[in-house]
Structure formats: C-alpha cells, structure tokens
Amino acid sequence: MTSIGIIGSQGRMGHALVNAIGEQEELSHAGGVDQDDDFAALLAQSDVLVDFSVPDGLSNRLDLCAAAGKPMLVGTTGLEPAHHLSIDAAAKTVPVLQTGNTSLGVNMLAALVKEAAARLGDDWDIEIVEMHHRHKVDAPSGTAILLGEAAAKGRGVDLNDHSERGRDGQTGARAKGAIGFASLRGGSVAGDHQVILATDEERIELGHRAENRMIFARGAVKAALWLTQQQPGRYDMTDMLGLD
C-alpha cells in the first residue's frame, strides 16, 4: 500500500485529494500539513508527497524531501524562477513531478495545442483565455501557462519572450508570433480554459472545462502513484501519460 502525504491539506484541493485517495484500496492517506505543521513527521509517514499549498517554503520542502529520499508532486502554482531551480536541484536526488494542472484532459489538450502550434505558421495568432473562481490569487492560471508553454514548445520559442499579458489602453498592434493571455475571475468556476488559434478568415478553438475539482485530485493521485516507480529526475504530466 502506498501512503500519500498532503501539503496544503486544509485547502480545496487538500480535501479533494483525501477523497481521491479514499477511492483506491491500494492507497492510504499519511496525513496532511499546512504552513505551521510538522512537515518532518509527515515525511516519515509518507511514501510520496503531494504539494498544493503556496510557493512560500516550497524550496525548503523540496530540500527535506530530497534529504529523506521521498518523491514529490508539485501542483502549487504561481512559481518563480527560483522555485524551478529548487525543483531541478531536488530532482537530482528524487523523482519530482511539477505541473500547472493534474487533469488528464487538460494535459491531453496541451498535447493537441503543441501539435497545432507546430504545424501552423506564426500567421496564426494564439490566444489563451482562462476563468476561475473569485478566490484564486494568481493570474494567469498555472494551466494557462502550461498551455502557453505547450504552444511555445510547438513553435520552438521561449514563452517568456513571446507572451502578451494584461493588455490595456493604446497597446499598439498585436505582435506577430505572440501568445496572448486573458484571465477572468468570478463565482465558483473550477477552471475553464480555451486556446484560440486565429488567422485570416478562420480560427481553431480548443478547450477544456472542469466541472468538479475531483478531476484534478484523481489525476494527482494517479501521478503520485506513478512517481513512486520512477528514477530521480524532473517529470511532468506528459511523461506520466506517455505523450512525448
């Protein structure tokens, strides 16, 4: 039986993860921690850790996981470059899967976006529109960034050099080859994402709508179980799904 520890256990995803773990007989819930709890004790009881908390303290948690030899799934969004460096460092010692979204459907969408971007020229404008509940604190969403990275990878470019965000006022014409982002917030929306590829006189719209947060929890549990069978390294959901 594989024991899964939850970081951010009192959040919406934390509660969903407990339910998802309970759906599978081969899994057990090792317990959960939040910002002021004893992470070392949870480490000792867990075979793998799943983090859906906040970026603050992530680097320290990764260091502790690496020292204890415990795999970790990082589903926390709003990460900065320093967090990614910490993930890279920990991945030299233990398996680490980092993703902006654990939904199997969203990651299949990302594969489709990458393929479309690779096959269509930069005369096709790419826009990513996302909507989430009113309580979400970061924008664009981790999923929107994941989709943007898929589009950029398909085109063979760096997303940081080709993204447009927060347009307002006299912005000038849209830059050729840009990948645009728009973020909407309201109500209790679990997550809606649409990728629009538009050129003269035609457009393609690829989308995903999350109807219940359990889709993320079930995907995270599946990925965490997969992670326990991997060698040290940095992974994402496409590795788990065998999409690359």
pLDDT in tens, 62-90: 999 999 999 999 999 889 999 999 999 99
> Which residue of the set 15, 136, 153, 222 is catalytic?
136
**pLDDT of amino acid 44:** 94
> What is the pTM for the complete model shown?
0.80
Contact 46, 30 (CB under 8 A): yes
List, for residues 46-62, the tens digit of each pLDDT value: 999 999 999 999 999 99
Mean pLDDT (whole number) for 88-97 = 98
Active-site pick, 29, 83, 132, 193: 132
- Nearest-CA neighbor of 99 among 77, 67, 70? 77
Among 182, 121, 123, CA closest to 147: 182
Residue bearing the bigger pLDDT, 213 or 233: 233
Instruction: Please state the length of the chain.
Output: 244
Banded model confidence at residue 228, pLDDT cuts 50, 70, 90: very high
> Strands 179-185 and 125-132, how do they pair?
parallel
Above 80 in pLDDT, residue 37? no
153 is catalytic: no
**d(C-alpha 216, C-alpha 220), whole Å:** 6
Rounded Cα distance, 244 and 222, in Å: 18
Those residues whose C-beta lies under 8 Å from the C-beta of residue 2, and which sit 6 or more positions away, are 26, 27, 28, 47, 48, 224, 225, 228
Per-residue pLDDT for 223 more than 90? Answer: yes
Q: Is 29 a catalytic residue?
A: no
pLDDT of residue 12: 87
| 59 contact partners, CB below 8 Å, separation of at least 6 | 82, 83, 86
Q: What is the pLDDT of residue 158?
A: 97
